[in-house]
Amino acid sequence: MTNQELNPHSSGSVKLRILGALAALALCGLTQFPAAAQAQTRFTKTGSSGAQFLKIGVGARYLAMGEASVASTGDAFSLYWNPAALGEIEGNQFALAHTNWVLDISLNYFAYARRVEGIGVLAVGITALNVPEQEITTVLQQDGTGLFFDANSYAVTVGFARELTNKFTFGASFKYINESIANERATGFGIDMGTILHTGLRSLRLGMNISNLGGNMRFSGPNLTDQLQNGNNTTDVQIVVEESSLPLIFRVGVAYDLQLTSTQRLTLASELKHPNDNVEQGSLGLEYGFNERFFLRTGYKINYDEEDLTFGAGLQTPFGEESLLSIDYAWVDLGRLSATHRFSLNVSF
């Protein structure tokens, strides 16, 4: 992070900005979920939101640490986990991630971030999910009609982060969301906001983030029309699909770096998560680094339906004269759905 000295004459205003950012983020998290919290004694609202692909995490490092990421991230993948952590980037970074999801579904992610002097860090990212073609069936043709359909989802995100002091960073992002199934389509917009606070207690960091704050989405398209025959009269009927909300998530977590020796580091991370379509969940993560080049990681996800243990490894090596290449892998247990393998790459230059 860039060290910035505070102007004594403006310290009061900076403190007010920090408190305002923290209060706004906490208020968003608290006001969005009271109904969900009361309803959890009756039902968990599982499956009640749309755009579920936005909940599939990216970046093998953070997935291997059980997604305990809101305070531990600090690269181009921060655009997904906590845009405030983009403020840790110096220079330029681009990141790529690939996920082999269940049922041959694939998810790919790309992000680019650049520090702009006097402004902060700007970033852009694309998330794309693809479902393989499937044959259309009907009540009368249950073995297939010979016609096929596919499904795709993508989100385009732009974000920024700015250090308000040398200990506190605020970030936000805006995303356009598009989902399609056959000839039907739904679009929407979402906002992410986050903060990172370096507490001053050695390396302890506190992170907060709210993701996918936005309006509802509704599918529409030519296949949602039908005709009713009444004698000689034909009436066109439009099938109206119910709206679905975005998968709103509020995260808060901490991370701490423990320097074991001059060449060995241990990072501990934990996170609590409150989604609007499920019960509260938690994550614990650990990363061991040797010489800041070789990494082993593990994590545990708490109160998830299928996911629990995660493992992974990474390699970081110089690439060219002034570039750094990071290659990471994660194995995530999905219980009855088997395991998934995640790969990611990050280049700093």
pLDDT at site 306: 82
Domain boundaries, the chain: 10-218+245-348
* Of 217, 341, 247, residue with least CA distance to 54: 247
Choose among 165, 170, 190: nearest CA to 249: 190
Query: Looking at the predicted structure, is the pLDDT value of residue 211 above 90?
Result: yes
Q: Which of 35-44, 202-211, 229-238, 327-336 has the lowest mean pLDDT?
A: 35-44
Residue appearing with tokens 């790529």: 96
Q: What is the mean pLDDT of residues 279-294?
A: 95
Contacts with 2 (C-beta within 8 Å, 6 or more apart), sequence order: 90, 163, 166
In terms of phi and psi (left: phi > 0; alpha: psi -120 to 50; beta: otherwise), the region of 118 is left
* Pairing status of strand 294-302 against strand 281-290: antiparallel
Q: Which of 33-42, 218-227, 280-289 has the lowest mean pLDDT?
A: 33-42
Average pLDDT, the chain: 86
Q: pLDDT tens, 73-105?
A: 999 999 999 999 999 999 999 999 999 888 889
Q: What is the pLDDT of residue 43?
A: 53
For the stretch 135-140, contacts whose Cβ atoms lie closer than 8 Å and that sit 24 or more positions apart, written own/partner, are none
d(CA 241, CA 239): 6
Q: What average pLDDT does the segment 24-38 reach?
A: 45
pLDDT digits (tens, 9 = 90+) for 151-160: 999 999 999 9
For strand 339-348 and strand 92-100, is the pairing parallel, antiparallel, or unpaired? antiparallel
Lowest-confidence segment of 103-112, 217-226, 242-251, 318-327 by average pLDDT: 217-226
Using alpha carbons, select from 344, 341, 339, 316 the residue that is nearest to residue 328. 344
Lowest-pLDDT choice from 34-38, 129-133, 147-151, 333-337: 34-38
Over residues 38-52, the mean pLDDT reads 64
Over residues 171-185, the pLDDT tens digits come to 999 999 999 998 899
CATH number among 1.10.300.10, 3.40.50.720, 2.40.160.60, 3.10.20.30, domain 10-218+245-348: 2.40.160.60
Q: Determine the pLDDT at residue 207.
A: 96
Could you tell me the two tokens for 317?
A: 């090596």
pTM: 0.83
Asked if 65 and 297 touch (Cβ cutoff 8 Å), the reply is: yes
